[in-house]
Structure 1
Amino acid sequence: MSVMQEDVIEASLDDDKVITQARRPLSRNRLVWLRLKGMPRFWVGASVLVFIVLWAFLGPLLYQWSPTQRDSYNMNLGPTMMHWFGTNAIGQDIYAQTLSGLQKSLVIGLIAGPAATIIAAVVGSTAGYLGGWVDKTIGWFVHLLLVIPAFFILVLLSPLYRGLSWVALTVFLAIFSWMIMAQVVRSQTRSLRNRDFVRAARYMGMPTGAILRRHIIPNIASLLIIDATLGVVAAIMSETSLSYFGFGVQKPEVSLGTLLADGTAAALTRPWLFVFPAMVLIALLFAISLIGDALRDAIDPTSGVNNG
């Protein structure tokens, strides 16, 4: 065989590899990522969120004032080079307090949102797969919890966690934020439990927990990812609202809700007390909402068409 023939054969083999790779179907995760890469709102939201997270946790290390430290000579002072966001009536630095409240809101949202989604996935998939009296019992319990909005339930239960740390508030937010998504997971599981691959796993003697973990939940993972992302927004808003009305984070701890509550009365006379925490909260919710919206359209491209 001549050298020219060998080159032709190698070239044809390389072409076959390229064609094979081109024809190979993209995985679902790869396809979702390719869609996300082409969405400017995803990159805007992700960039803003990364900046906010780094700012919340690294900013205090580069600032001279702590949230509890007082400057007796500069009380009720507007923004200056010494106090970037100004000070309150007792000389506490608003910039330091805003970062402290932002840290708490981020931690509460990033824990309570995904935790509520996990509870919804477990409860909803179990009810939808087992059916019968289990489904009826869980369905009745979920409908009972949905009778009263979660916000009012948390207000009624506030005496139980108000004296505790903000960790208790995070737990209560997760416990009372999963019901609607559980209903969605329940209905989706009902449609999946009679599929051939689920029946095959059941006939092979696979335990119920393994079926839910390997076959049911992975097929509704897209819904869970979207719910977990938007659940972070809901948890932050719930914490802020509860703290604003005095049912959430309690002093001397600081949250964005307590800062907004303290600054509301002086919003016109001393606007820095209200404006800066409000702007930080809006930027945080806006960034996470952009990411959640992009994830929804990347996982389900028809959602953008339907909404439009």
Structure 2
Amino acid sequence: MSMSPQEIFEVASPAVAEPDATDQRVAAGQPITRGRLILRRFLRQKSGLAALVVLVLIFLLAYLGPYLTQWKFDEFDQATILSGPDGSHFMGVDEVGRDVYARTLKGLQKSLVIGLVAALVTTTIAALAGSLAGYFGKFVDTGVVWVIDLLLVLPGFLILAILSPVLAGKTWLWLVVLLSLFGWMVTGRVVRGMAMSLRERDYVHAAKFMGVPSMTIIKRHLLPNMASLLIVDVTINVGGIILAETGLSFFGFGVQPPDVSLGTVLSDAQPLATTYPHVFMFGAGLLVLTVLCVSVIGDALRDAIDPSSGSSRL
């Protein structure tokens, strides 16, 4: 018996990811959304949940912590230069009399913002460029692949080192643009390959047969099926971009004075790392802890989104 186009579309178009048998048993007897299933799987990842709690505490420390001290990040206390932690200066004072606690948290704020914004922009560029190239093919694919190959062969770090002091000196948003511009190519290639595979699925052909616009097909059927990759890519990019920004700022190519980031804080404290470790260790510890938490959360999200992952089962 023949089927109508609507019936073909409903049969051929699957959900983004079918829940595993365990989750079907859990959901039996009451309707449950995919979002609730993902949340339930994520809450079973103890390491990911712990990392999320620590990361939230880091954000709270970065934005609320400065209110716990009377000192500003650019304020000087010449009478207590290089003194250790005490009741007035929680993490001590640096070589010119600035409060280490206030200065490090100010730098942490800027590094977190740059990492989050640049990671979202980077993954968005990769998702759009890769899905368009994989779905449309032909000249669109040729153009995107040519851009990817060109950016991959360019010395990204050198270009960032040359342009960042000029552009980032005006606003840190230029640093976000530059980091995003040279960070999306590998993920874009992966997304392109996945899009080329997904466009051959029956539910995509059914949508085309029904006259669904191409951009709607990409939005409803291609990108949701890449959600696991894209979410994990965002989390990985956050950590990677924070490290990249810190490295550039450490060598003087990133955030420019009088602004401050973790890289500039560590750069100023590096000569005193062995003689006055309190000046260096607070910022270094926050950097390592932040990147570690982001990485663990990414792994937990991947397991929660992918129902075939063994660690996502009850």
Aligned to 2:257: 251
Aligned to 1:91: 97
Higher RCO, Cα 8 Å, sep 6+: 2
| C-alpha distance in 2 between matches for 1:145 and 1:79 | 46
1:224: Cα distance to partner? 0.7
Aligned to 2:247: 241
| C-alpha distance in 2 between matches for 1:180 and 1:153 | 18
1:24: Cα distance to partner? 6.8
1:148: Cα distance to partner? 3.4
Amino acid at match of 1:29: G
1:205: Cα distance to partner? 2.3
1:163: Cα distance to partner? 2.3
| C-alpha distance in 2 between matches for 1:274 and 1:58 | 21
Written as runs of structure 1 = structure 2, the 5 A alignment for 1:126-145 is 126-145=132-151
Asked whether 1:209 is paired with 2:218, we answer no
Aligned to 2:63: 57
| C-alpha distance in 1 between matches for 2:129 and 2:88 | 52
Aligned to 1:179: 185
Aligned to 1:73: 79
Written as runs of structure 1 = structure 2, the 5 A alignment for 1:81-120 is 81-120=87-126
- Check whether the contact 1:114–1:229 (CA below 8 A) recurs between aligned residues: no
More deviation in 94-103 or 84-93? 84-93
For structure 1, the residue ranges without an aligned partner over 5 or more in a row are 1-18
Aligned equivalent of 1:283, options 289, 299, 305 = 289
More deviation in 293-302 or 277-286? 293-302
Aligned equivalent of 2:270, options 241, 255, 264 = 264
Aligned equivalent of 1:231, options 207, 228, 237 = 237
| C-alpha distance in 2 between matches for 1:246 and 1:84 | 27
Larger radius of gyration between Structure 1 and Structure 2: 1
- Check whether the contact 1:112–1:170 (CA below 8 A) recurs between aligned residues: yes
| C-alpha distance in 2 between matches for 1:118 and 1:72 | 47
C-alpha offsets along residues 53-83 of structure 1, whole Å, 9 cap, x if unaligned? 1111111122111101111211121111111
> SS at the partner of 2:96?
coil
**CA RMSD, Structure 1 to Structure 2 (Å):** 2.1
Aligned equivalent of 1:148, options 154, 157, 164 = 154
TM-score (norm 1): 0.87
- Check whether the contact 2:69–2:88 (CA below 8 A) recurs between aligned residues: no
C-alpha offsets along residues 30-63 of structure 1, whole Å, 9 cap, x if unaligned? 3332221111111110110010111111111221
| C-alpha distance in 1 between matches for 2:100 and 2:136 | 53
TM-score (norm 2): 0.86
Amino acid at match of 2:122: A
Percent identity over the alignment is 48
For structure 2, the residue ranges without an aligned partner over 5 or more in a row are 1-24
Aligned to 2:227: 221
> SS at the partner of 2:28?
helix
